[in-house]
Structure 1
Amino acid sequence: MRVLLCLVAWGFTVCLSVANAQDYILRPGPRGFDPGLNRYGATEAPPTAVRRDDRFNPSKTTVNVEILMPREGNALDAQHWSKTFAEMGYSARMRSPLLDDKMEVTERTRGPLRFVTVVGALDSRGNLVFPDRRFTSSDGAALKEWLDELKTYGAQGSPEGRPLWGLSRPQFEAVYTAMSRPVAEDVAGLPLTEALAKFGISREFPFRFSVAAKQSLDAPGRAAGVSRSVAGITAGTALAFVLNEFGMGFHPERLPDGTVELLIEPLPATLPADDAPLVVWPIGWEIDEKPAPDRRSKPVSDAKAVPSNRQLIGDSLLQQREAIGLSNVSVTAALETVEAETGVPILLDRPAAAASGVDLAKARMTAPPRNTSWNIVLRSVTSPNRLRHDLRRDEAGNPIVLVTSQRRGR
């Protein structure tokens, strides 16, 4: 980028043309994130300017293709694919396999340059075979699309539609570790942008609002502030819950240079199938195997709890039987009572409840005094109001209960 600088002094005007001016981004300050400008807002102290990392631009990425030929390979097939690659703007080397050759996609970097090497094979039918895909002679457009993705995103390819949002295992583990830290500050009543600044993860994984998310911030009917405290709940589950109250969700987004940010988007209008990859980070993770409660045993104590059995605490506490009675209380008050008595956070999905026609301001319930469990009380609160309650775990394995619509999926 070229910038023209003009200085006026002692009646003279001097203009300088400066080449290669750098782009800068601002790191977060005490006042948090300004989604309206899609950058961090003004701070009391001068913000720290950080040069934008423009490495691994597609123009600085070279994709090299090597095709392993079978011993009795068809020369016509090799000529066809060589011509196809050339028309796409990529060069391909056809060669015999060596002893340690294997199909793979790798990359190496040298300063700002990135080199992606794709090793595939030509099968007996003349098809190109790569580690996770196959192309026939009529799949030229699909092949070019894939190679263009590698040129843009490197060896990992485009993250779109992939499990774990297209992150590698180390990338996902880094995000999950950050999301496993408990929220230390109370965000109850705060507007969304102020609440996000309290999570303390934006320096490690910056937030970015999509255009649609920024536009929806001022939409009629949006919550004015966060409905409850999420202190003590891990950052991932708490962040998903807070954003959900504003009709939004988030997921890690891998950028072409390999860095990861947290993309905030409006929640999808339709829910994905149960076996589809996650669209947004969930409000708590499903417990794969829910153990049958043993009413003769005592709950697992906090001192003995480990990530693999912490959810047993919540299940045991909810299943314990005692004298319980509630008289003409609101749904929200009943849920607050269950949380106070069991110590298990009860997260109410207010948008889903409203979409199901539940008026939380008017809905009330009564549970006559009897020897029962808090789990049965939860069922008495949720079922008549077209809601359900799911025992889940946060990123650290601690139990939570999500109260949501009977129609809502993950």
Structure 2
Amino acid sequence: MHKTNFVTTPFGRRSMTLAMLANQYEAKSIEPGKSIDKWKLFRALCEARIVYGISDRALAVLNALLSFYPENALSQENGLVIFPSNAQLSLRAHGIAPATLRRHLAALVGAGLLIRKDSPNGKRYARRDRKGEIDEAFGFSVAALIARADEIFAHATRIAADRDRLRITKERLSICRRDIAKLIDIALEEQAPGDWLMVQSTFRTITRTIPRTPHIGDLNAVLEELEMLRDEVLIRLERRLETQKQSAKESQTERHIQNTNLKNIFESEPDTGQNSVQVLMRDLADDERPPFEPLSNPHLRSRDASRSAQPEHGRLTASPAAPASRSAPLKSFPLGLVIQACPDVVSYGSGGKVENWRDLMTAAIVIRSMLAISPSVYQEACDVMGPQNAATVMACMLQRAEHIKSAGGYLRNLTRRAHRGEFAIGPMLMALARSRGLPERHAG
């Protein structure tokens, strides 16, 4: 059995380094009887070559070198030193040039995968005893490969797992993109209610952020955004289906209620045709409550609920009342009022402008990222409040960002209150408008 506790220096002008010395000391710690299949180890090294910074040509040289090892299992019992000449190595490496061969051998040594054991004259050879067994050999020692085998296998396993995760994420991303594109096409063909052009623009904006050579972290972030958008599209289409089913039920039961006196059941609000911001500020003042606080007056909650239950523009509906367990929808406010109360949001719109609800909802997505609010929390707010109201709340939060310690927790709390019917947007806008000196009432 050959001694493994040697320290050898390179022949000629090649210098010795501390890294080479460390590799030789590490090779001394081979467990007794440890044996590694050389080709399994080689395939694992091919998988993990990026970790060790070696090229495919260097791996081809290592493959040729391992082919000279007499056994399939690398072990101390089978010897540690391989001693082919450069001419023999060049032939097995498919005729690689001598200078290129020497460069890649040096790269393998520098990566700590091989150890040079040079002879006094720098030649590679073996000296045999009288029984014909190798007594001493000079060439390249595979002791480092045996000592680092567990490390190489671990790197190969991790890289293979990362590659599988990247492949699965790409598949999920492709399916999600296909789903959103086709669902938007359905919505446009069926003329479903909603600003689907804005949804389509948001979809294209998200997909443009995918890099050409994506990392798993980049794809996960984009996938999360797209899945949130797909959920929003599905929710809107589900509402469309529920509306169609409800309309079908109403048409089937219309002859049973056509003689019912509905005169006093619904009262429609007259349309004054006034949409000015000052008139809306007067309405907010009538419902004034402490800013950024939940509704505490049950009378006000019942009044808001009765307002939301009234049909718009005098249109009568025969749809059944909402279940008592569900809160009434939040009251929405015109875009002009939101912009006057929250002017900072304009800077986050496309091109520094917010001209419509689509621009505001696009700006809200940017604000969500800036305030470090997770997509799931914002999606829940959209589900409970509605996309426009959620965007309005984001604009209000931006205006008061310096007073909010945890934006994600704050939005989650507002969402819970809105779900219980204990939150209204009016007081938030009223407080912000008052802080900016906007008029609260409009005479006449």
Taking structure 2 as the reference length, the TM-score comes to: 0.21
Structure number with bigger Rg: 2
Of Structure 1 and Structure 2, the greater strand share is in: 1
Of Structure 1 and Structure 2, the greater helix share is in: 2
Taking structure 1 as the reference length, the TM-score comes to: 0.22
